[in-house]
């Protein structure tokens, strides 16, 4: 069944400016600027500058098309959180025998993983995207913290680090070595996964 009109509205937080043009959104805040291209979603996005609100609506949409409203709203809310607070993922090194060595570049843009399962290869290198940096945790021994404004870039970086440490040709129920996400969320308020 098609609904004539479905819509949802969100308020723009204080200290954030938003520019909407042709389903391309630019969000600027104290931590920087984020851009989102939502042209793949069949929705109308209206920016009411005086009221400080953004409305996402769909006309004559079926169930799949109206579900895109919440997707667009969530992308915009993540941009608000990113430019106001930022996102962080904490990752722990798990090993049974061979300690995993992680070398970070001076600016935190390159992660180099060595001695994984005692291997001598040195090609486990991840170049983090622009705006994402990795630092060693001061409080916990085998932990790195990946942080940035863009939740997509931060979570993708954490996934790449996790996937490059996949155990090959062994029983993964027994060989649990790797680098795993232990906490994620807003900077300073990450919650355990």
Q: Is the dihedral of CA 129, 100, 115, 163 positive or negative?
A: negative
DSSP structure class, residue 169: S
Residue 103 neighbours by CB distance under 10 Å: 11
pLDDT at 1: 79
Contact 124, 112 (CB under 8 A): yes
Closest CA to 101 of 139, 137, 142, 132: 142
Q: Distance between CA atoms of 160 and 152, rounded to whole angstroms?
A: 12
pTM of the model: 0.90
| Per-position pLDDT tens, the chain of length 193 | 788 999 999 999 999 999 999 999 999 999 999 999 999 999 999 999 999 999 999 999 999 999 999 999 999 999 999 999 999 999 999 999 999 999 999 999 999 999 999 988 778 999 999 999 999 999 999 999 999 999 999 999 999 999 999 999 999 899 999 999 999 999 988 889 8
pLDDT at 87: 97
Rg for the chain (alpha carbons), in Å?
Answer: 21
pLDDT at 78: 97
pLDDT at 119: 86
pLDDT at 123: 83
């Amino acid at each position: 069944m098609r609904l004539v009109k479905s819509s949802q509205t969100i308020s723009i937080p204080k200290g954030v400016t938003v520019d909407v043009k042709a389903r391309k959104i630019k969000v600027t805040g104290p931590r920087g600027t984020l851009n989102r291209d939502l042209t793949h979603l069949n929705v109308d996005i209206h920016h009411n500058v005086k009221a400080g609100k953004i409305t996402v609506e769909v006309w004559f949409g079926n169930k799949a098309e109206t579900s895109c409203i919440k997707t667009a709203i969530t992308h915009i809310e993540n941009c608000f959180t990113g430019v106001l607070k930022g996102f962080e993922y904490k990752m722990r090194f798990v090993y049974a025998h061979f300690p995993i060595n992680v070398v970070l570049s001076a600016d935190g843009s390159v992660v180099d993983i060595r001695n994984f399962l005692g291997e001598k290869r040195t090609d486990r290198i991840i170049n983090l995207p622009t705006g994402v940096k990795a630092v060693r945790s001061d409080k916990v021994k085998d932990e790195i913290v990946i942080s940035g404004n863009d939740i997509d870039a931060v979570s993708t970086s954490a996934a790449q680090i996790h996937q490059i440490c996949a155990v090959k040709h062994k029983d993964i129920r027994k060989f649990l070595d790797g680098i795993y996400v232990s906490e994620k969320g807003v900077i300073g308020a990450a919650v355990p996964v």
